[in-house]
């Protein structure tokens, strides 16, 4: 959808992202079939199917936000505020919007995945924390030795991208709890330069973090839904 902003054709899933989409769709189909065959649990399975479809939609929206953020960042050729053209200022404002949209969505999507896995596998993570996050759910299965075939790869991909995810989480927390995250750099420069801001934040580094965040989220979805399909086959 957002590629039309750049005069491009709609995106088609390819590679690992396509495999992830197929695993989510396969899980949703299996849940729908189980709902038909097991009427006493139909509500539960239909709920899982709808949640899976919602996660697929969230994955699509996240990918588009990451793409748009990076495309607008590429349209900015200067890093000093005073050197920006009018067009670059517009591109920067649009970049900030989609960048912010992306790093907030990373954690929202993961928390939705945590909710699905918690219910599907009967993990009862809510006993640890009423309003738990994906990472609380993951810690629960890891520390309690549950579903090791799922916990091990999910933890490995989390560790692989931990530094980038920590920076993204910090930006998300600042945005939600303190101030507009892009203004954090403004504040630092203002304090150091007697009220003046001279340069933009490092857009290249931020976009590298988006790439890593996307890899972590997309990979976690693939691992989770591939395991979910296998789990449903075992309990049929």
| pLDDT one-digit tens code per residue, 153-172 | 999 999 999 999 999 999 99
Asked whether the predicted pLDDT for residue 142 surpasses 60, the reply is: yes
pLDDT value of position 184: 54
Alpha helices in the chain (DSSP H): 15-37, 42-74, 86-120, 134-143, 148-160, 162-177, 182-192, 203-235
pLDDT value of position 102: 97
pLDDT value of position 192: 45
pLDDT value of position 82: 84
Average pLDDT over residues 109-124: 97
Dist CA 204 CA 201 (whole Å):
9
Average pLDDT, the chain: 91
Q: Which residues contact 104 (CB under 8 A, 6 or more apart)?
A: 172, 175, 176
Please name which of 127, 140, 136, 105 lies closest in space to residue 216, comparing C-alpha atoms.
Answer: 105
Output the DSSP codes for 201-236: --HHHHHHHHHHHHHHHHHHHHHHHHHHHHHHHHH-
User: Would you place residue 114 in the very low, low, confident or very high pLDDT band (cuts 50, 70, 90)?
Assistant: very high
Listed by start position, the domains of the chain span: 27-165+204-235
Asked whether the predicted pLDDT for residue 174 surpasses 50, the reply is: yes
pLDDT value of position 196: 55
Asked whether the predicted pLDDT for residue 182 surpasses 90, the reply is: no
Dist CA 39 CA 191 (whole Å):
64
Distances in Å between the Cα of 140 and the Cα atoms of 151, 176, 205 are 9, 26, 32
Dist CA 129 CA 212 (whole Å):
28
| pLDDT one-digit tens code per residue, 1-35 | 889 889 999 999 999 999 999 999 999 999 999 99
Asked whether the predicted pLDDT for residue 181 surpasses 60, the reply is: no
SS3 (DSSP) at 80: strand
Asked whether the predicted pLDDT for residue 191 surpasses 50, the reply is: no
- Burial of 42 per CB tally in 10 Å (0-12, 13-18, 19+): middle
Asked whether the predicted pLDDT for residue 179 surpasses 80, the reply is: no
pTM of the model: 0.90
Share of the chain above pLDDT 70, in %: 92
SS3 (DSSP) at 167: helix
């Amino acid at each position: 959808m957002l590629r039309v902003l750049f005069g491009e054709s709609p995106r088609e899933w390819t590679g690992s992202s396509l495999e992830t989409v197929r695993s989510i769709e396969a899980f949703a189909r299996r849940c729908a079939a189980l709902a038909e065959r097991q009427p006493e649990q139909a509500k539960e399975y239909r709920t899982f199917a709808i949640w899976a479809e919602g996660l697929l939609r969230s994955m699509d929206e996240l990918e588009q936000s990451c793409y748009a953020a990076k495309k607008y960042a590429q349209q900015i050729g200067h890093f000093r505020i005073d050197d920006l053209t009018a067009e670059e200022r517009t591109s920067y404002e649009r970049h900030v919007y989609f960048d912010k949209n992306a790093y907030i969505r990373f954690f929202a999507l993961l928390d939705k995945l945590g909710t699905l896995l918690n219910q599907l596998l009967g993990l009862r993570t809510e006993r640890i924390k009423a309003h738990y996050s994906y990472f609380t759910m993951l810690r629960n299965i890891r520390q309690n030795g549950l579903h090791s075939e799922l916990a091990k790869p999910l933890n490995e991909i989390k560790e692989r991208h931990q530094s980038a995810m920590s920076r993204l989480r910090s930006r998300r927390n600042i945005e939600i709890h303190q101030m507009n995250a892009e203004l954090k750099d403004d504040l630092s420069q203002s304090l150091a330069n007697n009220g003046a801001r001279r340069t933009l934040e490092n857009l290249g580094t931020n976009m590298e973090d988006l790439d890593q965040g996307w890899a972590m989220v997309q990979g976690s979805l693939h691992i989770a839904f591939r395991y979910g399909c296998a789990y449903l086959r075992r309990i049929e």
